[in-house]
Structure 1
């Protein structure tokens, strides 16, 4: 082979090697071996528990309250069907605290039984309707010795009080706030005395000297829509009049500024005697 032939053969061999190298993909590099798993030591596992496996604390159960024992009654001292001074005293004492609203009779009937039952229930005493020592002791602790008037249903004595000097002449409804009394006075002489009730602190009954300027036998309040029978107006909307509420509830309440009378017969008589122009004096003695 001449030199030209030798060069051609060398070039052909070199070209074949280059083509084979571009046409074949290199073999994949071996995968990096995985890192060996590390196992937590028992100590580490015990100090760092998984949140999902941590124990849930159990709340301690509250002890149930024990039921209170029901009150028990003592031996019966007196009750339905009995009569006498003990019953009379019982009725008068119950009346002092608003549990007995009938006349004192000395006979223990249905009304007295109902009053004792209500008193016992309110005070947490065994509800029996008859009187035992517990009931009697509690009642005595809340009341005073009944007066003769309370035991015999006699009206209480009328407090005297002092007549204001302005009441000593002419015809005057003389109204004393210190004794809650209205006195009908003519020429300085008291003709009639009746108990009265006044307005509240928010709506007080005015004090001073006034004159009756209007009368209305069957009046109804245009503001409060309540009846004001035998109304005798002396200052704006304030009047002396009969009050069914005063008759029913006594001094557990107040008027809207008027002078309330609870004795129906007395206010009927007074209304017929008082004239337009007669004076009204309201004062503290």
Structure 2
């Protein structure tokens, strides 16, 4: 329990018109007609008060109203940064068809997708907002075809795992090689599954050594970087094995802040379901 508490503490330290009125000119009314014999019977004029009493002087002015010009409706935003959905995956696949997205679709609307949408919008003379509004989406639909299943979810290449370290051949082990950039899930010396991984930069390196999984957090969000860490399996302080949408989108052009990133969400989801607290982690 003390180790778990220490890990959580370490994680805490690591881990946004007026309506125009046209007033008509007052129309003078005729004064009441009087005969030489005296006043005629009083008849209400057009500007008589509602009670029937006549009123002298000019008639009440009439107001004609000219409808004000209404601003053109703004296009609705359909997708924007931070969204995660099948439609975002379709957006990325369609952008890829016409050369505006050079990665495999991830379904996550991150900075790479924002830049791709801005590129598309700029080419078509649209506002470079980076958001996918109704105008941008309709223009994209008109220029592209329905993505195939393979375009939406290309099969990930099978990584070539390194020869396992001697510490990995017994028990249940997450065997992680920095040389081959692979993670092998092993049980009693047999490789159950392998996946590509990414590590920390030289400023935030992933620690080498033998550890154990002390905490699992399915929907974890880093408290330090305010970034999602799905399927997180913590093994050393705030360092964890977890899915990274950034790794899925940018590949090895980026780096983690010390964690072991996995870019195949299906594989790490399966791994997360199998790994237990206490399982060994070897990073070498």
Q: TM-score, normalised by structure 2?
A: 0.47
Structure with greater helix share of residues: 1
TM-score scaled by structure 1?
0.47
Name which structure has the greater RCO, CA cutoff 8 Å, separation 6+. Answer: 2
The structure in which a higher percent of residues are strand is 2
Whose Rg is larger? 1
